[in-house]
């Protein structure tokens, strides 16, 4: 029988290295948490179709997050007693959806999509940047100046010895710490020429000094300012993009089709925002003293139906670190060519799931929470 992780003795309990993928870390780690996570995922993986296991292992090694979501969805549908076919063949196309589900004589297609603001590579770059700053704070000190970091450019994802960086930073501080305390320095052009630049095989850092104006008894981190590119984070746009990428992927279908979207690292995205996204923005009229919804949701309206090929959208809030906190929120498309009442089908077979019907205007959504996703 194929396993998701290697079967071997482990003794390394060290933290994740910057040049490791999540799969590599959990595959070698002997920490208690890593053992629990491996055991849990292996218990899910044993029920995964044998002929699909090799591809899923490769996917985990390449990009942990979407692979975890696919395995999680398989576990959820399996727990809810759906018949699950992974990557089924379809007529008139070489494309394959992630799942074909069957239950009580109903057959549906399901497609998984991760909504996230960063790729795994982008997260690695961010982790390396944070580690460099953390190591500078631990190995470079001054009671009279701070470092202002303008930019850290990561050129290669690899660990780097930083002793030379520490040495040169300390020299730079010693040579310039008195000069920057002179007020005339800050109105001269000289201060623009005094930036410290260090470049090695894996990264480039650029910074300067600013004087400390307040003395403290306790040690203070040397990095006082760290610049970064400004970003406008719009979690709803991430979700909308994720749904749109899957909504028309398979053209015309002869069965219900649902899009499953994981909400993980995306900022915000409260339930009320999901309601607005799918069914239209909620509005209260002071004139009529009543609430209604605009026709700007992804499902459109009866007059202007949208995404009619999509029977519904299943939002999954889950984190691989705490899968027992997983919750599902399903939105049925009232304008779908092949409607699918996910919540109604689940209520017939509750198992370990708790199902709560929530009225949203004239539509229904279903919230399901799992207290024991083992």
- The answer to whether 141 touches 257, Cβ cutoff 8 Å, is no
pLDDT band at residue 367, thresholds of 50, 70 and 90? Answer: low
pLDDT band at residue 68, thresholds of 50, 70 and 90? Answer: very high
Domain boundaries, given as residue ranges, for the chain: 80-117+234-370, 120-226
Q: How far is CA 213 from the centre of its chain?
A: 40
Task: State the pTM of this model.
Answer: 0.70
Checking if the pLDDT of 353 tops 50, the result is no
CB atoms within 10 A of CB 187: 8
- The answer to whether 89 touches 239, Cβ cutoff 8 Å, is no
CA–CA separation, 258 and 245 (whole Å): 13
Task: Show Cβ contacts of residue 258 under 8 Å, excluding neighbours closer than 6 positions.
Answer: 108, 109, 110, 111, 310, 311, 312, 313, 314, 330, 340, 342
Can you state the angle between helices 50-62 and 64-79, rounded to 10 degrees?
A: 140
Q: In this predicted model, what pLDDT tens digit does every residue of 23-66 receive, in sequence order?
A: 999 999 999 999 999 999 999 999 999 999 999 999 999 889 89
- The answer to whether 15 touches 24, Cβ cutoff 8 Å, is no
Which H/E stretch holds residue 102?
strand 99-103
CA–CA separation, 301 and 125 (whole Å): 43
Q: In this predicted model, what pLDDT tens digit does every residue of 69-91 receive, in sequence order?
A: 999 999 989 888 899 999 998 87
Here the tokens at position 324 are 């027992």
CB atoms within 10 A of CB 32: 9
Residues forming a β-bridge with 210: 146
- The answer to whether 25 touches 17, Cβ cutoff 8 Å, is yes
212 versus 19: the higher-pLDDT residue is 212
């Amino acid at each position: 029988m194929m396993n998701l992780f290697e079967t071997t003795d482990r003794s390394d309990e060290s933290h994740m290295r910057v040049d490791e993928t999540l799969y590599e870390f959990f595959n070698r780690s002997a920490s208690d948490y890593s053992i629990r996570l491996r055991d849990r995922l292996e218990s899910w993986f044993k029920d995964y179709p044998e002929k699909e296991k090799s591809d899923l292992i490769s996917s985990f090694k390449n990009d942990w997050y979407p692979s975890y979501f696919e395995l999680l969805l398989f576990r959820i549908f399996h727990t809810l007693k759906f018949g699950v076919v992974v990557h089924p063949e379809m007529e008139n196309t070489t494309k394959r959806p992630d799942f074909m589900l069957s239950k009580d004589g109903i057959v549906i297609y399901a497609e998984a999509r991760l909504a996230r603001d960063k790729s795994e590579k982008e997260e690695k770059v961010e982790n390396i940047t944070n580690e460099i700053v953390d190591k500078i704070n631990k190995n470079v000190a001054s009671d009279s100046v701070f470092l202002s970091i303008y930019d850290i450019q990561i050129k290669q994802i690899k660990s780097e010895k930083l002793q030379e960086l520490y040495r040169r930073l300390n020299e730079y501080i010693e040579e310039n710490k008195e000069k920057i305390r002179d007020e005339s320095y800050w109105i001269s052009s000289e201060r623009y020429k005094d930036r410290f630049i260090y470049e090695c095989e894996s990264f480039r850092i650029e910074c300067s000094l600013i004087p400390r104006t307040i003395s403290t008894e306790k040690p203070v981190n040397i990095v006082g300012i760290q610049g970064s590119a400004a970003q406008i984070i719009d979690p709803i746009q991430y979700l909308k993009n994720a749904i749109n990428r899957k909504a028309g992927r398979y053209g015309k279908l002869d069965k219900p089709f649902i899009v499953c979207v994981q909400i993980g690292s995306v900022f915000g995205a409260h339930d009320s925002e999901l309601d607005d996204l799918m069914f239209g923005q909620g509005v209260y009229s002071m004139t009529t003293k009543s609430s209604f919804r605009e026709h700007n949701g992804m499902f459109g309206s009866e007059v202007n139906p949208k995404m009619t090929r999509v029977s519904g959208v299943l939002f999954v809030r889950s984190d691989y670190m705490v899968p027992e906190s997983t919750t599902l929120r399903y939105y049925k498309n009232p304008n779908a060519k092949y409607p699918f009442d996910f919540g109604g089908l689940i209520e017939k077979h509750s198992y370990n799931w708790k199902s709560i019907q929530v009225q949203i205007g004239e539509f229904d959504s279903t919230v399901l929470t799992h207290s024991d996703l083992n």
